[in-house]
Amino acid sequence: METGLSTRPILVTGATGGIGAATVKLLAIEGADVIAAGRNQKRLTELADETGCRTLSFDLTSEDEIKSALSGLDLYGVVNCGGWGGEIATPMDTDISVFDKVIDINARGTLLVMKYASETMIKSAKGGAIVNVSSQASLVGLAGHVSYASSKGAVDAMTRVSALELGKHNIRVNAVNPTVVMTPMSEWYWGRDDIGGPLIETMPLHKWATENDCAGPIVFLLSDAAAMITGVCLPIDGGFTAV
């Protein structure tokens, strides 16, 4: 498959995380001019040494930092992968300060990156593609995920609206909605038989996603092979939301 991504500048936020780093590596293999953004400077340097990517650092909760970092930055594509999981809590006992922070990073941060990235993409008049990393949690009810699910539901909504608004500039906007990626960070919760067991039993493929399982569809949606796909929220969930 010809992706058409060679030499195209693509920003990946949350690049020091699992899915973000896997996406940076796959884009580098495709020859893209990758700009890896994150807060962990040591990990960014390691990623640059490994892939040859450029690096950029800004706070997703700061509009001023995002505007300054992206102003005039030549971009063809954006992957909004930066995010925070928050807490496991019911609507009855959720900490509203945690809810506010999750919304601030996941929803508001995603919108701010799209806002300032799309400005330069429109000015360049070359078209482009944006992929927002959402979650299975926005598509189904998951116990304990009221804050996270709310933030990702907002990401799905802004994906559809942005696809409508940016289509006239030949800029496509899609989202991917991964199921659990079993990392050490998520294993403490989803690795429990009483929590993860029912989910993986319901899932037709009966296995957790890997970082590369998510990176592949992201790169596809950025590519010329997906030239007629926009406004889509694509589950990467082993069929969980289909049953």
> How many other CB atoms are there within 10 angstroms of residue 5's CB atom?
24
Active site residue 148: yes
Q: Are 139 and 235 in contact (CB under 8 A)?
A: yes
Of 152, 61, 154, 67, which is closest to residue 101 (Cα–Cα)?
61
State the Cα–Cα distance between residues 55 and 34, nearest whole angstrom. Answer: 8
SS3 of residue 210 by DSSP: coil
Q: What are the beta bridge partners of residue 132?
A: 80, 175
Low-confidence residues in the chain, pLDDT < 70: 184
pLDDT at residue 18, as a whole number: 92
State the Cα–Cα distance between residues 119 and 72, nearest whole angstrom. Answer: 9
Of 230, 228, 81, 79, which is closest to residue 163 (Cα–Cα)?
230
Of 115, 98, 109, which is closest to residue 133 (Cα–Cα)?
109
Catalytically annotated residue among 101, 116, 148, 189: 148
Catalytically annotated residue among 42, 67, 152, 189: 152
Q: Token pair of 208, please?
A: 């957790």
Active site residue 189: no
pLDDT at residue 218, as a whole number: 98
State the Cα–Cα distance between residues 94 and 115, nearest whole angstrom. Answer: 30
Could you tell me the domains of the chain? 9-233 (3.40.50.720)
φ, ψ of residue 55 in degrees (nearest 5): -130, 155
Q: Dihedral sign for Cα 84, 89, 94, 95, please.
A: negative
